[in-house]
Chains A and B, each alone.
Chain A
Amino acid sequence: DIQMTQSPSSLSASVGDRVTITCRASQSISSFLNWYQQKPGKAPNLLIYAASSLQSGVPSRFSGSGSGTDFTLTISSLQPEDFATYYCQQSYSTPRTFGQGTKLEIK
Chain B
Amino acid sequence: QVQLQESGPGLVKPSETLSLTCTVSGGSITSYYWSWIRQPAGKGLEWIGRISSSGSTNCNPSLKSRLTMSVDTSKNQFSLKLTSVTAADTAVYYCAREISQETIRAFDVWGQGTMATVSS
Contacts and interface: CB of A to CB of B under 8 A. Distances in A.
Q: Do A and B come from one complex?
A: yes
Nearest to A48: B106
Contact of B107 (A42, A89, A99): A89
Interface SS of chain B: strand
A99 B44 CA distance: 8
Contacts of B103: 31, 50
Interface residues of A, number: 25
Contacts of B45: 44, 87, 89, 98, 101
Give the interface residue-count category, chain B. 20 to 34
B47 A43 contact: no
Given A1-B61, A43-B110, A43-B113, A96 B104 contact: no
Contacts of A49: 99, 104-106, 108
A101 B105 CA distance: 20
Given A31-B103, A95-B61, A100 B108 contact: no
Nearest to A90: B105
Interface in B12-49: 35, 44-47, 49
B60 A101 contact: no
Contacts of A94: 50, 58
B73 interface: no
Interface in A81-107: 87, 89, 91, 94-101
A31 B105 CA distance: 10
A34 B106 contact: yes
A79 interface: no
A55 to B, nearest CB: 7
Contact of A45 (B35, B62, B110, B111): B110
A99 B49 CA distance: 17
30 contacts: A1-B61, A31-B103, A34-B106, A34-B107, A36-B107, A42-B112, A43-B111, A43-B112, A44-B45, A44-B107, A46-B106, A46-B108, A49-B106, A55-B108, A89-B45, A89-B106, A89-B107, A91-B98, A91-B105, A91-B106, A94-B58, A95-B47, A95-B59, A95-B60, A95-B61, A96-B35, A96-B50, A97-B47, A99-B44, A100-B44
